[in-house]
Amino acid sequence: MSDAVQQANELLRERGYAERDLAVHTGPRGKALLKGNKILSPLSDEAEVVLRVVRDLVPTDGELGGKILRPAELREKL
């Protein structure tokens, strides 16, 4: 697992997410996937980009509440 994927998962845990709700996984061809119950569909991109999304755009679990993250909205904010 890449350092970026590990860092993203550490940030998600610190923000209160269980792995089933939101986690970053290593994907094919060097990509990383942000997926789980709290995102409408997986977000796939380079690992560094996914880390940036997690670091800069994903709120804490408490702030997100019952809402669902939408990959298109996250991409708009990049």
Report if pTM > 0.85.
Answer: yes
Q: Please give the chain's pLDDT, 78 residues, in tens.
A: 589 999 999 999 999 999 999 999 998 888 999 999 999 999 999 999 999 999 999 999 999 999 999 999 999 999
- Residue 47 region, left (φ>0) first, then alpha (ψ -120 to 50), else beta? alpha
Assigned token pair, 51: 């880390």
Q: Which residue has the tokens 């789980």?
A: 36
* Interacting residues of 28 by C-beta distance below 8 A, sequence separation 6+: none
